[in-house]
């Protein structure tokens, strides 16, 4: 993370929080580029993955589970519904809300996105051995769990 003027001071280069942030910026760029190949964004992937893993749910429940804000959730659901990757149907118990369900096309799209993201992860972790990759995942998971970030 050198600048045109050279590397930052050692005390900055050795800060775990700074290193994590710099690595996250690189990882986010790679993930965004991978998802863009399929014309989607992170919220699309998060929503499809959540529906596939946990089944149909209300928009509010999906927002809480994924951490997607209400206004972003509406836009994401609308976009995925237009693409026929999910369906909305009135909740039989409460007609004021919709239940969202992934479609077969949504499951196929999710499988394609999983492959794109796996390639992005491989590119990001290229300098690490398989054991180092697992160790990194274990350490980052422990940090996230300790600090309460369950939304990744």
Residue 149 resides in a domain = no
Q: 3-state class of 53 per DSSP? A: helix
Number of structural domains the chain divides into: 1
According to the model, what pLDDT value does residue 95 have?
82
pLDDT surpasses 60 at 151: no
pLDDT surpasses 80 at 67: yes
Instruction: Give, for 58, the enclosing helix (H) or strand (E).
Output: strand 57-58
pLDDT surpasses 90 at 91: no
Residue 83 resides in a domain = yes
Lowest mean pLDDT among 30-34, 78-82, 93-97, 141-145: 93-97
Residue 87 resides in a domain = yes
Q: 3-state class of 5 per DSSP? A: coil
According to the model, what pLDDT value does residue 92 have?
87
Residue 152 resides in a domain = no
Q: What is the CA radius of gyration of the chain?
A: 19
Could you tell me the pTM of the whole model? Answer: 0.85
Nearest to 77 by CA among 96, 54, 53, 101: 101
Residue 8 resides in a domain = no
According to the model, what pLDDT value does residue 138 have?
96
Distance between CA atoms of 38 and 102, rounded to whole angstroms? 17
Residue 15 resides in a domain = no
Q: What are 90's strand-pairing partners?
A: 98
6 DSSP assignment: B
CATH classification of the domain holding 108: 1.10.10.10
Write the DSSP assignment of 1-15 as a string of letters: --BTTBPPPHHHHT-
Residue 139 resides in a domain = yes
Nearest to 84 by CA among 66, 65, 108: 108
According to the model, what pLDDT value does residue 1 have?
61
**Parent domain of 100:** 40-144
Could you write out the three-class secondary structure of 78-144?
HHHHHCCCEEEEECCCCCCCEEEEECHHHHHHHHHHHHHHHHHHHHHCCCCCHHHHHHHHHHHHHHH
Residue 33 resides in a domain = no
């Amino acid at each position: 993370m050198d600048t045109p003027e050279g590397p930052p001071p050692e005390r900055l280069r050795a800060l775990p929080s700074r290193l994590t942030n710099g690595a996250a910026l690189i990882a986010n760029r790679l993930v965004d580029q991978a998802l863009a190949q399929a014309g989607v964004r992170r919220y699309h992937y998060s929503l499809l993955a959540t529906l596939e893993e946990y089944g149909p749910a209300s928009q509010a429940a999906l927002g809480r589970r994924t951490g997607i804000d209400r206004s972003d959730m509406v836009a994401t659901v609308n976009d995925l519904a237009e693409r026929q990757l999910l369906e909305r149907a009135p909740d039989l118990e409460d007609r004021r809300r919709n239940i969202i369900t992934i479609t077969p096309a949504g499951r196929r799209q999710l499988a394609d996105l999983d492959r794109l993201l796996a390639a992005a992860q491989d590119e990001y972790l290229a300098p690490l051995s398989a054991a180092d990759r697992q160790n990194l995942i274990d350490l980052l998971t422990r940090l996230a769990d300790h600090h309460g970030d369950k939304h990744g």
